[in-house]
Structure 1
Amino acid sequence: MIVVSAATGALGRLVIGHLLTRLPADRITAAVREPARAADLAALGVDVRLGDYDRPESLRSAYAGADRVLLISSPELAPDRRIRQHLAAVEAARDSGVRAIAYTSFLGADRDGDGMNAAHHGTERAIVDSGLAWTMLRNPFYSDAFINAGLRSAVESGELTSGTGGRGLNTAFRTDLAEAAANVLIDDAHLGQGYDLTGPLWTYSQLAEVLGEATGQVVEYREATEQAPGPMGWLMGLARSGALERQTDDLHRVLGRPPTTLRQAVALALG
């Protein structure tokens, strides 16, 4: 049996969707904080169990009888609480007799234990030390945050702006990362592997060009003179520094196919 933790989140639902194309529903369990929100999964035959990162006793019940667990990282941003939640899940998996755990980490967490990677780095170390078989899925930022239906406004105005300084972004689509996680969960060949998952490198000037080709409209790229507010401004700053240009072929290898391309992504976003 495979347990997907945090299964009612966007990534968890996608992982379960991919698993259902390969496994009987009765071999898949969704561990969730609010079982009532997983009625759709239960209707598909998935076993829905209470599994709250803040309630370790519920995790032990949720993981009972499981061979593998996908530990999807908590959305909690405070590193101390996040690592506490993750360590509770790792301990519960070990105590419940789980054989292997896959963890959705973040790029660089194997080397960097500071800032946003502090909890990821600590979780990876705890998993390795637990004695469980493991696979680390070090995800990049989601392409979905940048390439989505909101691009229609750029097509309508004929202008696309960013504060990336022309640097590349190695983002990947959530659905590709979910499929990679599902592949890892059903194949022992991935045990003991740490994957640095990146999508095809792209730039905003390339995005403007592809938008124009897809719509037949002229879309000019312009570098923003002021930083965007909020999280997007922070992400643009990371890109401008070159921090999002690292590339590997790990996602391609785990998927067994090329990840979603920029042109495919734009077609889906505007579809």
Structure 2
Amino acid sequence: MIVVTGATGTLGSLVVHRLLERVPPHKLGVSVRGVESAAALADAGVRVRAGDFTRPETLLHAFEGADQVLVVSAAIRGPGALAANNAAIDAARAVGVERILYTSHQAASRSALFPPHRVHAETEQHLAGTGLPHTALRNGFYASTLAVNIGDAIDTGVIAAPADGPVSWTAHVDLAEAAAVALTQEHAPGSPLDGATPPLTAPELLDLEQVASILSDITGRSIRRVVVDDEEWKAAAVARGLPPMVADFSLGMCLAARAGEYAVSDPTLESLLGRPATPARATLEGIVAAASRPAAGLGD
């Protein structure tokens, strides 16, 4: 049995759907914090059990009988993230799985400027220390994050943000399919899926200046990129109501991009998919389309 954690989240839910194209439902299990959120999966024949990274004892039941577990990295900011990831890995080992897979990041490094990537690096080290066959999926930066980076540019015509750098924006749907491939393929020693993978990224590198140009083309009007001083940007963000810790978190992304930590492209993802990766333009088109829809309950 394959067990997927975080199966109702953005990435986890897509992984489950891709797996259901490859394996029968009774060979798939999910670990979710609230089983009611996965009722549709249960109705489809998937085993649904409650599991919470912050309550490790629940994971032993959630992972029971699994041959492989995909640990989708904990959606926790701060020091608790590493403990949560490690708890899930330890629970998978305790129930006797044959392989553990973990959703890491292409910029995973103990010296990374963006704190979550340091957590990924330490989690990878813990995973390797289990001595079990494992795969650390070094995912590219989620293209959906562009919605945060561009802010209200579709309304204002300006992307105002600190200095950045090129990023290999990668679609959730592509990374989910790659995870499904990793869970259903043989892993020969030395293969790209044995241990930490090469960067799983789309081939195109874009900074916010280039993003502004694409948005201009999509919307048919000029959208400018304006570089804002780091502290000035943070002060303005906090004044708009963004919690200081969240502002620091967002600023960290720009610092890492500026340092070139995301300026990486690799053919491994497209090789696993057997097709071209989804371009960032497609994600931007979706963001523009969503922004143009009338709010629910308004209009005719």
**TM superposition score normalised by structure 2:** 0.79
Within the alignment, does 1:90 sit opposite 2:106 as a pair? no
Q: Tell me what 2:221 maps to.
A: 217
What is the Cα deviation at residue 188 of structure 1? 1.4
Q: Is the 8 A contact 1:155 1:212 kept in 2?
A: no
Q: Is the 8 A contact 2:171 2:280 kept in 1?
A: no
- Which letter maps to 2:208? Y
Q: Is the 8 A contact 2:38 2:48 kept in 1?
A: yes
Distance 1:174 1:164, change over 3 A: farther
Q: Tell me what 2:2 maps to.
A: 2
What is the Cα deviation at residue 100 of structure 1? 0.8
Q: Secondary structure at the match of 2:225?
A: strand
Equivalents in 2 of 1:223, 1:121: separation in Å?
30
Q: Tell me what 1:194 maps to.
A: 196
Map 1:66-215 → 2, pairs under 5 A:
66-79=66-79, 81-109=80-108, 111-112=109-110, 115-147=115-147, 153-165=152-164, 167-189=165-187, 191-195=193-197, 196-199=199-202, 200-215=204-219
Q: Tell me what 1:51 maps to.
A: 51
Unaligned runs of at least 5 residues, structure 2: 238-246, 290-300
Unaligned runs of at least 5 residues, structure 1: none
Within the alignment, does 1:256 sit opposite 2:274 as a pair? yes
What is the Cα deviation at residue 152 of structure 1? 9.4
How many residues in Structure 1 have an aligned counterpart in Structure 2? 267
Distance 1:164 1:172, change over 3 A: farther
1:191-214 C-alpha deviation (Å, 9 max, x unpaired): 424222233211222222222222
Map 1:231-242 → 2, pairs under 5 A:
231-242=249-260
Q: Is the 8 A contact 1:163 1:224 kept in 2?
A: yes
Equivalents in 2 of 1:213, 1:118: separation in Å?
36
- Which letter maps to 1:96? V
Q: Percent identity?
A: 34
What is the Cα deviation at residue 242 of structure 1? 2.7
Over the aligned positions, Cα root-mean-square deviation in angstroms equals: 2.5
What is the Cα deviation at residue 76 of structure 1? 2.2
Q: Is the 8 A contact 1:31 1:49 kept in 2?
A: yes
Q: Is the 8 A contact 2:154 2:288 kept in 1?
A: no
What is the Cα deviation at residue 153 of structure 1? 4.7
What is the Cα deviation at residue 262 of structure 1? 2.5
- Which letter maps to 1:211? L
- Which letter maps to 2:259? S
- Which letter maps to 2:267? D
Of stretches 6-15 and 228-237 in structure 1, the one that deviates more from structure 2 is 228-237
Q: Is the 8 A contact 2:2 2:66 kept in 1?
A: yes
